[in-house]
């Protein structure tokens, strides 16, 4: 299935939230039956924000693995591994960094966006500027044919494709595959304050939250600012609740909410309660599964060990091919 290979990763920079699930994880689960999927815990990438607290990486990596398994990723159907356990990532990153012009990295849209988003950490590091090079190494080591991305991430993948073309041209051999963007239809899912759902903004609903925490967060969500009073009509399309209703509430209920909100026949508190009930109904099976998985850490680590061993065989062969093309071995 090498011609059908998918590669993607997630940073263990904290607990996974609903944005992570709907933005990537749910899509991964659906792809594992049809593609040769390699999914990795990108702990080296997480050092761009956790360099002052690297001891958190092990804890967060375990939590990410638990969230993956409880959400439906099956180690019998896909390869799950830890980036830092495969030294070929770091070595190929170093090799590629020697041939990537700095202006290519500086024009990366995420570079400025992330600096604006994360205010409490100095993001002006070489590692953060050069993370697209490490990202490229991640992709090409496994000869991935496609990388699942949202439409806003396509420019990042194009930078990787540029780096790949440069390497192949320099050494006159098509060592690395230019991956295609497998564009996912990512639903809009803001945090409880109306901004992008993010751990950095402290506005996320986490997959590891309790029923009580989830209910409390939903009840604290920002709603239509025009509804200052219960008798004021509202507009669901500008309300922060409604995108979640579109995901978690039955279509009939969505229609009822639209009509009732516009006529001020339903209050924001009632609307939040309906969302909390439907959200919990959807999440409870995963929450129960998560408790079961988290209670068996040895099994989780064994899954990652076996997947990492399999992935390293592929990575080792690719790095050897690259160094051979460069005539440095």
Residues paired with residue 6 on neighbouring β-strands, in sequence order:
37, 146
Residues forming a β-bridge with 149:
183
Q: Which two tokens stand for residue 300?
A: 């989780």
For 51, residues 6+ apart whose C-beta sits below 8 A from its C-beta are 125, 127
Cα pseudo-dihedral 226, 228, 234, 240, rounded to 10: 80
| Pair of tokens at residue 305 | 């060990």
CB 122 within 8 A of CB 204: no
In the set 77, 114, 182, 289, the catalytic residue is 114
In the chain, beta strands by DSSP E: 5-10, 36-41, 78-82, 146-149, 180-183
Q: Is 77 a catalytic residue?
A: no
Q: Which residues pair with 124 in a beta bridge?
A: none
Q: How far apart are CA 47 and CA 139, in angstroms?
A: 19
Write the CB contacts of 126 (distance below 8 Å, at least 6 apart in sequence): none
CA dist., res. 307 & res. 160, Å (int): 25
Active site residue 199: yes
Which residue, 61, 62, 75, 82, is CA-closest to 29? 75
Of 26, 143, 199, 217, the active-site residue reads 199
Question: Can 112 be counted among the known catalytic residues?
Answer: no
In whole angstroms, give the CA distance from residue 160 to residue 178. 8
In the chain, how long is the greatest CA-to-CA distance? 76
Report the length, in residues, of the chain.
329
From 173, 196, 219, 289, active-site residue:
196
Please list the active-site residues. 114, 196, 199
């Amino acid at each position: 299935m090498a011609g059908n290979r998918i590669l993607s990763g997630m940073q263990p920079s904290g607990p996974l939230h609903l944005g992570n699930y709907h933005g990537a994880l749910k899509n991964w689960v659906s792809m594992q039956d049809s593609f040769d999927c390699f999914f990795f815990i990108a702990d080296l990438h997480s050092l761009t924000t956790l360099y002052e607290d690297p001891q958190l990486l092990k804890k967060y990596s375990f939590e990410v693995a638990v969230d993956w398994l409880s959400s439906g990723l099956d180690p019998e159907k896909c390869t799950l591994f830890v980036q830092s356990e495969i030294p070929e990532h770091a070595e190929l990153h170093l090799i590629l960094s020697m041939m990537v012009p700095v202006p290519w990295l500086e024009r990366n849209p995420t570079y400025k966006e992330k600096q604006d988003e994360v205010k409490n950490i100095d993001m002006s590091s070489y590692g953060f500027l050069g993370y697209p090079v490490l990202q490229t190494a991640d992709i090409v080591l496994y000869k991935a044919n496609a990388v699942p991305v949202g439409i806003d991430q396509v420019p990042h993948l194009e930078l990787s494709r540029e780096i790949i073309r440069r390497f192949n041209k320099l050494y006159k051999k098509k060592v690395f595959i230019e991956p295609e963007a497998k564009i996912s239809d990512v639903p809009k899912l803001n945090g409880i304050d109306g901004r992008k759902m993010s751990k950095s903004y402290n506005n996320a609903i986490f997959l590891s939250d309790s029923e009580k925490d989830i209910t409390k967060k939903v009840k604290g969500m920002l709603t239509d600012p025009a509804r200052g009073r219960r008798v004021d009509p509202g507009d669901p399309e500008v309300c922060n609740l409604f995108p979640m209703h579109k995901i978690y509430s039955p279509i009939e209920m969505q229609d009822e909410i639209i009509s009732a909100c516009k006529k001020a026949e339903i209050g924001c508190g009632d609307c939040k309660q309906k969302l909390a009930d439907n959200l919990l109904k959807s999440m409870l099976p995963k929450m129960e599964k998560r408790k079961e998985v988290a209670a068996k850490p040895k099994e989780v680590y064994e899954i990652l060990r076996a997947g990492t061993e399999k992935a390293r065989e592929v990575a080792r062969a690719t790095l050897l091919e690259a160094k051979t093309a460069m005539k440095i071995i």
